[in-house]
Amino acid sequence: MLEIRPNCEHCNKDLPNNSPDAMICTFECTFCVDCATKIFNDVCPNCGGNFQKRPVRPEKYLDKHPPSSVRVYKPKPID
C-alpha cells in the first residue's frame, strides 16, 4: 500500500492525499510536478526511475489507511 507522503522531497511543498501535483517513482520518492518535470526532467534524483502521477486514496479508506505524516525533505543539489 502506498504511503502517500505529505510533501515534496525537494522543495517541501505540501502534497496532501488529493493533490493533483504529487508525482512518485517506483520507490515512492515523492516530488511535486514542478520539481519532477522542470528540475529533474522526469528522472528521480534518488533512484533514476521515472515519475508517475500519484493516485489519490479514496476518502472512504482514509480512516482505516491514513496517509503518512512523515515528511521527507532532502533537497538535491542542482547541477
Give residue 77's pLDDT band: very low, low, confident or very high (50, 70, 90): confident
Cα separation, 47 vs 8, in Å, equals: 16
Q: What letter would DSSP give residue 59? A: G
7 φ/ψ angles, rounded to the nearest 5 degrees? -155, 165
Residue 34's H or E segment, with its range, is: helix 33-34
Q: Grid coordinates in use for 51?
A: 515519475
Give residue 27's pLDDT band: very low, low, confident or very high (50, 70, 90): very high
pTM: 0.92
- CB-CB contact of 17 with 7 (8 Å): no
Domains in the chain, start-ordered, CATH in brackets?
1-59 (3.30.40)
Give residue 50's pLDDT band: very low, low, confident or very high (50, 70, 90): very high
Give residue 71's pLDDT band: very low, low, confident or very high (50, 70, 90): very high
The mean per-residue pLDDT over the stretch 19-48 comes to 97
Coil vs helix vs strand at 46: coil
